[in-house]
Every structure is written in structure tokens, then in C-alpha cells.
Chain A
Amino acid sequence: MILQVFLLSSKGDHLIYKDFRGETDASIINIFYEKVVALPGDQPPIVMYHDGLHLIHIRQGGLYFVATSKSNLSPFTVIEFLNRLAALIKDYCGALSEKTVRMNFALIYELLDEMMDYGYVQTTSTDILKNFIQTEAVTSKPFSLFDLSNVGLFGADTQQSKVAPSTAASRPMLTTRGDQGSKNEIFVDVIERLTVVIGSNGTLMKSDVQGEIRVKCFLPSCSEIRIGLNEEFSVGKSQLRGYGTAVRVDECRFNESVRLDEFENYRILKIHPSHGEQTVMQYQLYDELPLAPPFRLFPTLERDPTGRLLIYMKLRCDLPPKSSALNVSLNLPVPKGTLSMSQNLSSPDQSAELQQSSKSIQWDIVRFPGGSQLSAMFKLEVPGLSSASLLEVGPASLSFELPKHTCTGLQIRFLRLSVSQPALPQRWVRYVTHSDSYTIRI
């Protein structure tokens, strides 16, 4: 059973400390911090042991969430619980940071009291919790939908009218009583993470997609909503629907609250969303992308007569011409002996530098339109360049964001609220693909 739960700031300040069993004392907090700071990189920091006490922690929002136990409990339970705690704090206080936690400590204590009793997890569902929570969240500044200063991911293309700012969904879940400017809104986000390995000969060796549909609900009263997916959506290899290009995933998991009676025939998910954020559906696709992977790299390595290493790279973005990739960053390890680098880039909105600490080239492209191609030439000064040191070059890894794009092709056909709301709520559907691990071998 869990004995204690505590939250620490990244500097080790005690933010929250709750002892559920009275079997241990608070001195463990400082011991934990000393241990976690002293950890060498290659050691799994998840489970630590000190004097009969097991310490399990996660890090979110720059904070340490820690639980302790003496028994042989399930670390999965603890990690899931701590993750939910972090999510709930985010839901209730709007964001997860040292500041919001400090401001709302009384609320968090109250949450903890309802979430866990005597070390047993009670509930982590906002629906149930909202019946018990009395304290109201304190936010640092009133939320404004028009605060567009922080344009990011989702709101990349601000020219287009119907895009919500990325901060729109990060605000406290409103309690039943307070209705300070309660916006009547619901967000449905489709988020995919892409893992790709392209071999040195250009073959696609691995391509996985992990995706999820998340609903953030800020409606005053949540009645049933219906989310329609592509009709061609199919699960598993055998099951193909229709003649068109199927939207296929290998596995699919649904939140407990999702009703699937119309899923089989109409691909409709029905849920009663609770306040705040929840993951409605998670899915995976292995090894069969419906489209070509978004990026291809054509590198050439050469030694010029003066003994320098020339790396010429052509990077092509295979997205449809209308969309584009953002914040593309390519990282290429180079020989350890590299001293300096000169560069020649094809267009001005790129930048590149040699990172001395990791001996790698970092090539950044802020915006990369689909169907276009960029190239770069790097000349490296490597004393004693041998053929073996050419082996040290690569693999290249890319990180990027693809707004308004899903790799599986999953789309939300419609989002319907069944019961007529007093005022028609704003409905937002957003798509984004992140790179999880995109590797191109050289």
C-alpha cells in the first residue's frame, strides 16, 4: 500500500506532503531529493530503495510526484495513480506548475484525501470527485480566449479563421458554482506519434504510429456526445471495409466510459465526457503507413583532397503540398574528432550548427512546406580522418510537428452533442502528428 505521497519542486522545495498511514516520517522527502539528484543517467530512476522504503516517482511539469511504500505493491498502480494526480491537478488548476500547486495547496490536499484513503486508491474520475471537492481553484490571471501571444502547435496557421489558440484548452475545469466567464466549449484532439526507421539504402524498416483521441470538455452540463470516425476505419489486419483506401489500425483501446454500440456499424463513439480532459481512444498501427513517410534524406559523404569531410544532405518533405511541417530539427552525429564546421544552406530560413558537446550537427528548419526540398552542405575539419571514422556519421534523427495531419488518415467525421445545449457550444477538432523517434540511417 502507498504510505505517503509528496510533491517537490525541481529545486526540492516541499509543495505537498501527505502521510496516509502514519508509519513513516517526513524525513524521507529530503533523502529522496538527494537520491534523485545524484542519480547517474543510465540508472532507471523509477524505483528507488531506501532503508526499507520503496520510492516511486514520475516527473511532470517540472515537479516530482513521489509515492512511498513498504510492501511489494504494483509499480504500475503507483505510476498510473501519480499520472492521474498530475492530470487532475492540471484539470482543476488549469496548468501544472510549481506556481499553481503553491496557489492551490488546499485544493490539492482535498483532492488527495478523496483520491486515496489509507493508501488505497479510491477514485481518479473527475465525475465522481466533483461531488466532493469544496475548495475552488485559484488561477493567476483570468483566462482569455483572445490571448494569442502564445501561438504554437495547434494554432500554427493564424490566418485561417477556425483555429483555436493552443492555450485555449489549458485552463481550470470550472467547478459547478463559479461561472467566471464560463466558455461553452468542447475540444476533440487527434494526436499521433510517429516512429520511423529508414535504412541506409532508403527502405522503410519500421514505421509505427501511436495515436489517441482526447476530449477536453468545458460544457456546463455534459450530455452525451457522438464522435464519428472515418467510415473506412478498420481494426486489425483481416477486417477491411469497403473498397476505398482503408484507414487501418492494428489495435484499439477505449476509455471505460465509451459506448461502442454504434461503433461496429457506423464508427461512432458515444461518450458522456466528464469535466476536464480524458483520453477516449488509443490506437496503434505497426509497419504499414498508408502514405509515404513525411521525410526522406539523401546524404552523400565525401573526403575532399584537403582531408576535410564533406557532408551533402538533401531533405525532402513528402507531405501534401497544402500542409507543412513545423519546427523540423535534424540531428546528425559526426566523427568524435571533428574540430569545426562550415556550412552552406539552400535557403535563409534554416540554420545549422555544430554542437561540440555531443559532436553532432543540428540543422533546424522552422517551416517546411510539403512537396519541397531543402539541401545543405557541411564541411567538417576532422584531423586524422580515416575510413573508420566515416562509420561514426549517423544515424540522422528528426523531430518535427505536423499540424492538421494524421499519419493513419484518421479523421473525425462529425462531433454531435445530442441534447440541445442552452447556448450552442463551440466545438473544436484539432489534429497533430509529433515525431516520436524518426531515424534515418546513413
Chain B
Amino acid sequence: MTDSKYFTTTKKGEIFELKAELNSDKKEKKKEAVKKVIASMTVGKDVSALFPDVVNCMQTDNLELKKLVYLYLMNYAKSQPDMAIMAVNTFVKDCEDPNPLIRALAVRTMGCIRVDKITEYLCEPLRKCLKDEDPYVRKTAAVCVAKLHDINAQLVEDQGFLDTLKDLISDSNPMVVANAVAALSEIAESHPNSNLLDLNPQSINKLLTALNECTEWGQIFILDCLANYTPRDDRESQSICERVTPRLSHANSAVVLSAVKVLMKFMEMLPKDLDYYGMLLKKLAPPLVTLLSAEPELQYVALRNINLIVQKRPEILKHEMKVFFVKYNDPIYVKLEKLDIMIRLASQANIAQVLAELKEYATEVDVDFVRKAVRAIGRCAIKVEQSAERCVSTLLDLIQTKVNYVVQEAIVVIKDIFRKYPNKYESVIATLCENLDSLDEPEARAAMIWIVGEYAERIDNADELLESFLEGFHDESTQVQLQLLTAIVKLFLKKPTETQELVQQVLSLATQDSDNPDLRDRGYIYWRLLSTDPVAAKEVVLAEKPLISEETDLIEPTLLDELICHIGTLASVYHKPPSAFVEGSRGVQHKRLPPRTGSNESVESPESTQPVVGQSADQPPAVIPSQGDLLGDLLNLDLGPPASTVSSGPTSTMQMGAMDLLGGGLDSLMGDDAEGLGGDLGGSPAIGTSFGSPAVMPASLNVPVGGGLGDLFDLGSNVGMPCGSYVEPKTVWLPAVKAKGLEISGTVARRMGTIQMELTLSNKAMQVMTDFAIQFNRNSFGLAPAAALQVHTPLSPNQTIDVVLPLSTVGPVMKMEPLNNLQVAVKNNIDVFYFSCIYPISILFVEEGRMERQVFLATWKDIPNENEAQFHIKDCRLNSDAVSNKLQNNNIFSIAKRNVDGQEMLYQSMRLTNGIWVLAELRMQASSSSYMLSLKCRAPEVSQFVFQSYEAILKN
């Protein structure tokens, strides 16, 4: 007789049969019947019809049968709430049972029945069970509080269960402690402001004591809880570290990782010259290495974490290179991770060893792995200068194998090596050229073309080589086309006599026969450049390129710091902050590493204007975009200079006009001084369209630019003038280098009574961007997006769009430093990016900001004098009417005007979205050009920002 027979019967009258058996007198038969019911439940059959019959079996003294019935109840009580009430009496009775197993079972099951009605019956039994003499019952009851809290939070608070739960942290039984901590942590997470797990030195001490008593699973809860605490100083930090360190040798990897998380976070506070700091570093290595002998699943997860740790503190594992060597039977995903870490750890000391390994890997079977190994060799060359020569010769050996994908990959990395060490390894070019025909991947072709163009003067038949590519020009991918265009222009500038025809050909192919705007525009730029001033063209196109930096694929430092706080969690596996993948984490604050409090390293003062904490001590390495974008970067690099050269005199005006016409934001013209937006536009469509719109242009390249479009611009600014409130000019919030090619500039404005964020998104990468979304961190005035970010069409490379995002002020509130700082996360299909921006406080002035005169007077007197702040506004020559008009447009209302001793006084009021009133007295001396502004407000910290807004409004 085995249980498997329960799965087999699917006859028609099955439910009926089961019903009969459930109501049988014989215990054994009943039990068998319930088992059958549960078996059906598992495979997904609906057996809810049997609910009353199963509940009838509940009253039994057979524990095994009882457990089975409870199992059934948990599953179906939700769909049968009325029936569930039938079971309540038995539950309550079972909670009084002399057998602790039954008491616990009852309280566990009751909590799982997520029916509102049941909660009121649950309270009394739960209260008793929390104080039960048997620890098994207490630990079950502790979890039950969390269950009940999820159903009815208010009830739990009213009944005082939370306090009982807190007491259980000091229980004598380790499992009770563990569950109490777990339950409290979870409840605290849903109430971020409650100080449930009030972490202070005393309670931390309690937790640390419990840590030694707890089961392994409880230790994880406690360590995770500790990780949320920020010690007061380095001494406290050290003492916690000392007590956590023994956990590193635990057999359970989850305990180890939670301990590593705590240590990595608290280490941040220890001064680096401390002996203990060095000791701690040494202690961290062995447990991490040990993780690599676990099952592949754990190994992979561990490697993802080690990848973060190595980026943050390479010194921990710098002597452990060998353990990251790949085993032939590692799964491919483990191999790739190991390779990545090997490169990060590569240094002059171990480079010979690493290279020997990589060379072996490059002849393995798995294509993906081989490719990555070849790339790794290139990265070694760039990272460790002394090894460059050996890397290059290794790559040449690999090219000799003629294995197609190895050759292509090698050529791509050799291109990077050339960029890093110009004029050093040109001798290999001949070998590369031999393999020209076998290249079929765009990236490799583009890299080869770049090499030919760059070293055209040393390759005798460069023109023939490039010409051979030109034959199938239209079949090439954009990447190759762009590169070919640039390379031929370079060639022309180097050997003008024999390549005139070639350059004509490519320019006409690019400008006349291509649908691709990028290609066309680049073609026009070169064409114009070459025909107007070949000398300048030479300077621009053949300009010396900045060297590429050595580290690639580094995680952006602020994100890295956040991820370090999430070691051992999913975030550390995805390498994304939790907010990117956990639902409902909008309000969750980003975790930050504590600032170092060390002796000689307090570089930044605490009230530093930098909103980003944690960058203080170690200078973060500059991040350059990953391989994929490198070429894009390279392309723009060729283009950047021409754009700035061209944009002189009338041209720049024209660009501005075109820019804003495109964006449709006439109002923003007001703010847009011609302060060099064009400069960093690079090869963006703004220029492109300005060339593209008058169709005559390409024909006569020498036509002076400007003219019609310039007029348009003037018109635009006239339209813009009388309109609404002051809007700050858009500034670049997120530069493309920090966001894998996405550039965001923007401003926050108040238009027609609504606050909106106006963004310009530019795609400077080589791939299409989609799936945009935006989120704000909590901020001082609760600004939050009122709608989703509307980017309907994918953003193709070099495209720019303007987006308007309406904002509300009902989001979660947290005081920021400075007050008007806003931290924003923007996501696209590539990654998540973070930046912060400052908005003018004037956007928060509501239309209902006019105060009655009497009220004004009373309030002014009522606010204590220490809340008054005075500011000078210099160099402003507007008369009082103009001033009050300008201010009124920004919802700063003049209530009264007085003239005293040749001074004009304006009394004004405004109200912020959160109800704060600000009262102002503006004193204007006829004789001088400087105003005196006195502000009174019950929240004096806003005054400074109000003043900044005044100044901005009046001066624009």
C-alpha cells in the first residue's frame, strides 16, 4: 500500500466516493480519504466541495489526521470563508489542548486562514500562546503575529501584540528569538517610520547576544537586522565586527554572506590605518573562497557577490587569484563569472599566470566562453601596461588558428589596445589585414576598418582595402557604414592625392543613397568640413584621441555602495538595486554605506553639498561605458570636435532655434541663453535636422548658414517673452558617460498651475533604448510623478526627444539636503540610472498664495524675529510694478505697497504646496540697484531657497 495510488483515480463519481469515505466511522479510512483529497489538491483538482466533510474530521485525537485536515483548511479557507468560521470553535478549543503540538498547530493554521472574520476569534488564543510555557508554541505564535499584522495591522497594534513580540527577543529559547526578530523585521519594513526595531546600542547588544544562542536560520534574521544599523562611531563599529566575525566560519553559506554584509558595511567606518582593519580584511578571504567549493548554484550566486566585493575592496582577494581559475567541468555561467573576476584581480604581480590561463581558455570548445576569454586578454593588456606586449603576441598566436570567431574577437580587442598604446604595436597590422576576408561580424569589421583608417599612412594598400568594403556599402550595418565613412575621410586627409575619388564616392553614398539620418548627417558634416577648410578638417578629424581608461564594466560607485549594503540578497545577484525589481518598494529608501569616521580621512564635511554620501574616502575610478558602447564613444569622439568648431557665430544661434523648434517648448526659449548647448551636442539630430530641413543645402555646400532659421529663432523668443512663470534653463542632469549613453537634461517648471518636469532624453549609445520609466526618491516636498514617463516610440541611436512629466506633491516625504534636492532613478532596457537634481522652490508656490492684509499683519507679528532672514538682491534695475508683475507670474503675490523715505516697500506672500506660508518684505531703494529682501516663515529653512528663486525670477 503506497500513497501513490491516490494520484491515479480520476473516476467520475470520485468526489461522491470521497464524501462517503470521509464520513466513514473508521479512523483509518478517514485518514486515507483525507490523503486522497490532499493528493487531488496538489495536482490542481478542485476539491473545495468537500470542505464541510473534511472539517468534520477535524475533531479527532489522531495528530496525523488532524495535521492533514489543517493542511486542507489552509488551502481552501480563503475561498470558503463562511465554512471556515465553522472550524473556528475547534481551533479555539485546540489552542487549549494539553498537547503543545496541537496548540501550536492550531495557532499556526489559524494565522494562515486569511479570512477577516476569523481575526477576532484569533486574538485571545494568540495572546495566551504568546505566553505559553512551551517554546514550540511561543515560536509559532510569534510568527502568527506577523500573519495577523498582514491581515489587520491596526488590530495587532491595538491588542498590544507588538510589545509582546519585542519582549520575545529576550526569550530563553533560540527559535523563539529568531522568529520574533523575523516577524518584527517584516512588520517594521511595512512601517518604515515606526521604531519597532528601535536599533540603539542596547538593543543591538541584545541582538548580538541572541546571535550566539540562535539557530542558523535565526542568525540570518539577526545579521540582516544588524546590517540596517548605523553605528555611532568607529569604536562601536569595531566591537560589532568583532562579535560578528566568528559567523564567517559557519557551514551555512547564508549565515556567512549575511555576516560578510555586516562586516563590509561597518568596515567602511573603520580607519584604514587601524590594525584591526587589516586583520578583518584577511579574515574575509577564506570564507569567500570556501563558497567556491559548493554546488554550482551556490557558486554562481557567490561569484556574483564576490564580483561586487572585488570592485569595492580588491585587497581582500588579491592573493586568491588561483581559486578563480576555471575548471573544465564548471557550468558555463560559472565560467563567465570567474573570468570577469580574474580580470578585476589581474595585476602586475599575477599577470603572467593569468595570461597563461586565458590562452588555454581561448582554445576551448564553448564559443561564448572563448570569446570572452579573448576579450579578457585584451582587457589585461589595457589594464597592466607591462603585459601589453605579451598580450598582443598571444592574440597574434590566436589569430593564427584561423578559428573564425577567435580572429574576429581578437581584432576587436586589438583595436582597443591600439587606442590605449598608440604607435606601439603597428607591426601587427599586416597580420590583421590578412584576415580581412574572414570577418563577418559587424563589430569586427568596424574595428578592422577603424584600424585601417587610423593607420592609413602605414598601410600601402589602405585605399584598396577600404574600397573593397565600399562595394557592398548598403548591405553593411550602420556601425560599419559610419566607421567606413570616417576611415575614408581619414585616409583622404592623409593621402589626398590618390583618394579623391574614393572620398567622393563614400560621401555621395552616405548623403544621397542612405536613409539613415546619422550616416547622412555625418556625411554632410565631413563634406562641408572638407570643402570649407581642409586644414581645420585635418585638425578635427585627425585630432589626438584621449586614451581609453583601463577599467571597463565597473559598476557606478553609488550603485556599488548600495549593492554592497545588499550583499547576499537578490540585488547582489542581479546587480540592480532592489527598487528596480521588488514591487511596492517605491518608498523604500536606498541604503547607503555609512561615512567613514576615520582619523585622517574626513575629507568631506558632513554638510557638504554633494548629495551622494559614501564616495568620500576612496576616489572612485572613472567609469567608462562597456565594450558595446566603446565604439559609439569612439564615433562621437571623431564627431565632437567638428560640432564645436562649426558652432561659431550665426550657426550657433541657428542651432538653438532649430533645437527648440524641434522640442516644441517655446517657453523654454526664454531661459535658453546661447550658453553652449551646442557644444556638447556632438552628432545629435539637432544639427542634423538643421542641415536636413532646407533641401537645397547639400547641393551647394558653401551656402552661408543662418538666414531664415535665425529669423525664426527671433520670432520664437518674441513669442516666449510675455508668457508665464520663470523656468530654469534645462541643464544636463545625467551625462551620457554615466548612463551608458543616455543623456538626460531637464528642468522643473510650473505651468498653468501644474508642476511638470521637462526632460530631454538623448540616446548617445549605439543601441535602441526602450522601456523608459522614472521614479523619485522621497523628497522634502513629496514630489512624485503623477503619470508614467511617456516615451512611446523606442529611442534610436543619436535621437533626442522631449518629454513632459506631470508631477504631484502627494508622494512620500523625507527631508533632503539641500531642501530642494530631488533624487531620480530612470530605467530603460539597458539599466537603471540615478542622478539628483535641484529644482527652484518657486515651482511649489501655489495659485492660492494671496494672504488677506489683516492676516498678513497678524502673521508677520506672530512669527518670532529669529525666523526672519534677510538677503540682498544686487544689480537689479526693475521698477516696482515690473517687479510685482514678474513675481505675480510666479505666484508671489504683492499685498501692499508703501513708500517710505524714497524706499519702495512691497509686502508679499506666497504659499508652498505643503501649506507653508512665506511672508516677504521687499525694499527697493530708488538710488541703488540693490534690493533688500526680508523673509519670515514658520519653517525658516525654506527662506534661503525662496531667496534664490526671487533672484532667479527678477534677473531673468
Residues of A within 8 A of B (CB): 1, 13-17, 19-20, 22, 26, 41-47, 49, 52, 54, 58, 69-77, 79-80, 83, 99, 102-106, 109-110, 113, 117-118, 120-125, 132, 134-135, 138, 140, 193, 195, 197, 199, 206, 208, 210, 251, 253-256, 279, 282, 284, 286-287, 333, 358-359, 386, 388-389, 391-392, 394-395, 397, 436-437, 439, 441
Question: Most A CB atoms within 10 A — which of B4, B63, B182?
Answer: B4
Docked complex Cα distance between A99 and B573 (Å): 34
Whether A43 and B333, one on each chain, are in contact in the complex, defined by CB atoms closer than 8 angstroms, is yes
Whether B330 and A74, one on each chain, are in contact in the complex, defined by CB atoms closer than 8 angstroms, is no
| Residues of the B chain whose Cβ atoms lie less than 8 Å from the Cβ of A386 | 402
| Residues of the B chain whose Cβ atoms lie less than 8 Å from the Cβ of A359 | 365
Contacts A/B (CB < 8 Å), 15 sampled:
A41-B332, A46-B301, A49-B581, A58-B295, A58-B297, A73-B570, A76-B253, A79-B295, A122-B217, A123-B217, A138-B3, A199-B356, A282-B251, A284-B293, A358-B365
Docked complex Cα distance between A45 and B334 (Å): 11
Whether A83 and B295, one on each chain, are in contact in the complex, defined by CB atoms closer than 8 angstroms, is yes
A123 to chain B, nearest CB (A): 6
Docked complex Cα distance between A248 and B63 (Å): 51
Contact with A along B276-291 (1 / 0, CB 8 A): 0000000000100110
| Residues of the A chain whose Cβ atoms lie less than 8 Å from the Cβ of B360 | 395, 441
With known contacts A123-B175, A388-B401, A17–B42 Cβ distance under 8 A = yes
| Residues of the B chain whose Cβ atoms lie less than 8 Å from the Cβ of A287 | 322
Contact check: which of A17, A44, A122, A140 meets B139 at CB < 8 Å? A122
Whether A47 and B573, one on each chain, are in contact in the complex, defined by CB atoms closer than 8 angstroms, is yes
- Chain A, residue nearest B109 (CB): A113
| Residues of the A chain whose Cβ atoms lie less than 8 Å from the Cβ of B566 | 72
- Chain A, residue nearest B320 (CB): A286
Whether B333 and A206, one on each chain, are in contact in the complex, defined by CB atoms closer than 8 angstroms, is no
Docked complex Cα distance between A436 and B175 (Å): 38
> Helix, strand, loop or mixed for chain A's interface?
mixed
- Chain B, residue nearest A57 (CB): B297
Whether A118 and B146, one on each chain, are in contact in the complex, defined by CB atoms closer than 8 angstroms, is yes
- Chain A, residue nearest B579 (CB): A72
Whether A75 and B570, one on each chain, are in contact in the complex, defined by CB atoms closer than 8 angstroms, is yes
A88 to chain B, nearest CB (A): 14
| Residues of the B chain whose Cβ atoms lie less than 8 Å from the Cβ of A123 | 175, 215, 217
- Chain A, residue nearest B398 (CB): A391
- Would you call B505 an interface residue if the criterion is a C-beta within 8 Å of the partner chain's C-beta atoms? no
15 new A-B contacts at CB < 8 Å, known A76-B568, A389-B401: A14-B42, A42-B333, A54-B581, A70-B583, A75-B301, A79-B298, A117-B179, A121-B220, A122-B179, A253-B290, A284-B290, A359-B365, A394-B363, A395-B328, A397-B329
Q: Which 10 A-B pairs have the closest CB atoms?
A: A437-B327, A44-B333, A76-B254, A134-B64, A72-B578, A77-B254, A121-B217, A210-B293, A388-B401, A102-B4
B438 to chain A, nearest CB (A): 13
Contact with A along B323-349 (1 / 0, CB 8 A): 101011110110010000000000000
With known contacts A49-B581, A118-B111, A441-B360, A206–B322 Cβ distance under 8 A = yes
B638 to chain A, nearest CB (A): 34
With known contacts A22-B112, A70-B582, A206-B325, A118–B143 Cβ distance under 8 A = yes
| Residues of the B chain whose Cβ atoms lie less than 8 Å from the Cβ of A77 | 217, 220, 254
Whether A42 and B568, one on each chain, are in contact in the complex, defined by CB atoms closer than 8 angstroms, is no
- Chain A, residue nearest B305 (CB): A76
Whether B3 and A14, one on each chain, are in contact in the complex, defined by CB atoms closer than 8 angstroms, is no
Whether B147 and A437, one on each chain, are in contact in the complex, defined by CB atoms closer than 8 angstroms, is no
Contact check: which of B78, B216, B254 meets A256 at CB < 8 Å? B216
- Chain A, residue nearest B41 (CB): A17
Docked complex Cα distance between A210 and B293 (Å): 7
With known contacts A16-B42, A80-B254, A117–B140 Cβ distance under 8 A = yes
A30 to chain B, nearest CB (A): 10
| Residues of the B chain whose Cβ atoms lie less than 8 Å from the Cβ of A195 | 327
| Residues of the A chain whose Cβ atoms lie less than 8 Å from the Cβ of B400 | 388
- Chain B, residue nearest A390 (CB): B401
Docked complex Cα distance between A41 and B295 (Å): 17
With known contacts A1-B186, A118-B143, A358-B365, A106–B3 Cβ distance under 8 A = yes
Contact check: which of A80, A113, A284, A394 meets B71 at CB < 8 Å? A113
Docked complex Cα distance between A210 and B3 (Å): 40
Contact check: which of A15, A121, A251 meets B290 at CB < 8 Å? A251
Query: Which B residues between 402 and 450 are near A, CB-CB below 8 angstroms?
Result: 402-403
| Residues of the B chain whose Cβ atoms lie less than 8 Å from the Cβ of A125 | 215
- Would you call B274 an interface residue if the criterion is a C-beta within 8 Å of the partner chain's C-beta atoms? no
- Would you call B252 an interface residue if the criterion is a C-beta within 8 Å of the partner chain's C-beta atoms? yes
| Residues of the B chain whose Cβ atoms lie less than 8 Å from the Cβ of A134 | 63-64, 67
